Amino acid sequence: MPTTASTAQKTSSRRRKGSSSRRDDDAPLIPILARKVREVEAKSQRGKLGPTNRVKFQVIAFLVREERARVKADGEIADGARAELLKRLDGVATILAKTAARDTSLIQLLEVDQATSPVARRMRRDWLLESGAELPEDEL
């Protein structure tokens, strides 16, 4: 039975989806961070960021730091998968850096000792829950 273009396309699509979801199993937070950083980048290209997007920028930066440390410390992730995850996190960090270069007032939000607002904590919690992460009782 000959394969049609649509059948081949569906099979190809399934294969891509499978490898992508397998890749995201080790770090389900990365696609969320990638989507959010693109939103912030798009807003910054249109002008100065408002308060909500500034908070998003800060939360993305903190979560990238946390996720990077987690990926590096996780002994269960294979070296190849770890390298891929770190590369993806570097991509998010690169977009953050380009955005901060466009609006230099964002740089102060990247400081480790920068206090986080209740809105930032809630945003962080929501994104972690969206990624399927289990949070301690005090963070819920």
The full set of domain ranges for the chain reads 25-130
Average pLDDT, the chain: 84
Closest CA to 125 of 39, 55, 53, 70: 55
Look at residue 116 in the predicted model and tell me its pLDDT. Answer: 82
End-to-end CA distance of the chain: 55
Residue 54: count of CB within 10 angstroms of its CB = 19
pLDDT < 50 positions in the chain = 6-23
State pLDDT tens for residues 22-60: 445 667 999 999 999 999 999 999 998 999 999 999 999
Closest CA to 123 of 59, 67, 68: 59
Q: How far is CA 114 from CA 44, 47, 97, 121, 127, in A?
A: 21, 24, 17, 13, 20
